[in-house]
């Protein structure tokens, strides 16, 4: 009896030690995540003269110059924000629909070619045609250049990894007996998908929805490749173009002395950090509301089906 109690005590001490170790590791990881964001905030509120001496975790010379500079361009920034929100919402909804519809037949045991389609899906995760081939196909065949579709269609509408996450969730959390019962009651595949699979997969749909939304919100490469009309710039593309313009005026030999003098007074480093903060705020506001479903979807969707 005493031996059993000793083993229990040792086990409890081991578990307590593990919890403390895990807590220390998580606190360290949290610090690594928070410190860069705090440094960005500090730099965005610093003057350019102070930043020449190096970055500080507290502004050496407090300045709102970066935010004043962006406020002057608020009309254009708000338009870019609106387009970014439109692209993110449309792209995320489309991604959720296509991903869940692709994953549903892959989870059905009575769908015989599912292994073939799973192989094709996995193959696309390993190989692709490259940027040149993609650009030629999207611009010459689908004519998406200088359209909103350029932000939504190329490469981001469906992810093979997301399809596998949803399929694994279907296999692990939705008993196949429910699908069989629905078929016996006369439900079609569309009804099973819409009335059973989708409502019961809220956690994993939230997870891949966040992944897709982050991808669309932070996407600037599509704008760089396919968009030349300034009115179609999203917030990421516009702010990158803005920083490139400032850098160009500061470094080029072709600019006039007056242009160089004006550019030298523009906030560069602080504006870059202010831009990053402006782009991060919406995602930071949304994340706390979906954190619970996100963690659940990641844990369960990652289980092998």
In this structure, the number of other CB atoms found within 10 A of the CB of residue 181 comes to 13
* 8 A C-beta contact, residue 251 and residue 100: no
Q: How far apart are the C-alpha atoms of 168 and 211, rounded to whole Å?
A: 17
pLDDT value, residue 301: 47
Tell me: the pLDDT tens digits for 71-92?
887 888 888 888 988 998 999 9
* pLDDT given at position 1: 53
Q: What is the pLDDT of residues 266-303, one digit of tens each?
A: 666 777 788 778 777 777 777 766 666 666 555 554 44
Q: Which tokens in the block code for residue 216?
A: 């669309």
The fold of 67-301 is MetI-like fold (1.10.3720)
The per-residue pLDDT for 9 is 62
Cite the DSSP H helix spans in 108-152: 114-126, 130-136, 149-152
Across the range 109-132, mean pLDDT stands at 82
What pTM, to 2 d.p., does this model score?
0.76
- SS3 at position 107: helix
Helix (H, G, I), strand (E, B) or coil at 109: coil
What's the average model confidence in pLDDT over 89-112? 88
Contact 119, 54 (CB under 8 A): no
> Is 60 exceeded by the pLDDT of residue 233?
yes
């Amino acid at each position: 009896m005493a031996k059993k109690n000793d083993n229990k005590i040792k086990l409890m001490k081991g578990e307590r030690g593990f919890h403390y170790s895990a807590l220390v590791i998580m606190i360290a990881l949290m610090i690594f995540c928070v410190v860069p964001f705090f440094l960005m905030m500090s730099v965005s509120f610093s003057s350019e003269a102070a930043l020449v001496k190096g970055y500080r975790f507290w502004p050496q010379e407090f300045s709102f110059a970066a935010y004043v500079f962006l406020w002057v361009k608020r009309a254009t920034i708000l338009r870019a924000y609106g387009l970014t929100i439109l692209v993110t919402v449309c792209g995320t909804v489309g991604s959720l629909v296509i991903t869940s519809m692709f994953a549903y037949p892959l989870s059905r045991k009575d769908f015989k070619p599912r292994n073939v389609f799973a192989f094709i899906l996995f193959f696309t995760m390993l190989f692709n045609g490259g940027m040149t081939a993609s650009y030629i196909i999207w611009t010459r065949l689908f004519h998406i250049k200088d359209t909103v579709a350029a932000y939504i269609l190329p490469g981001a509408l469906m992810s093979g990894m997301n399809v596998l996450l949803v399929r694994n969730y279907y296999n692990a959390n939705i008993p196949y007996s429910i699908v069989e019962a629905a078929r016996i009651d006369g439900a079609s595949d569309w009804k099973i998908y819409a009335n059973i699979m989708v409502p019961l997969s809220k956690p994993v749909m939230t997870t891949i929805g966040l992944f897709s939304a982050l991808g669309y919100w932070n996407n600037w490469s599509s704008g760089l490749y396919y968009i030349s009309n300034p009115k179609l710039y999203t917030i990421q593309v516009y702010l990158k173009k803005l920083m490139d313009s400032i850098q160009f005026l500061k470094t080029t030999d072709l600019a006039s002395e007056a242009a160089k003098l004006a550019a030298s007074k523009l906030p560069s480093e602080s504006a870059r950090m202010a831009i990053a903060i402006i782009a991060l705020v919406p995602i930071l506001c949304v994340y706390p509301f979906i954190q619970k479903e996100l963690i659940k979807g990641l844990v369960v969707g990652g289980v092998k089906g």
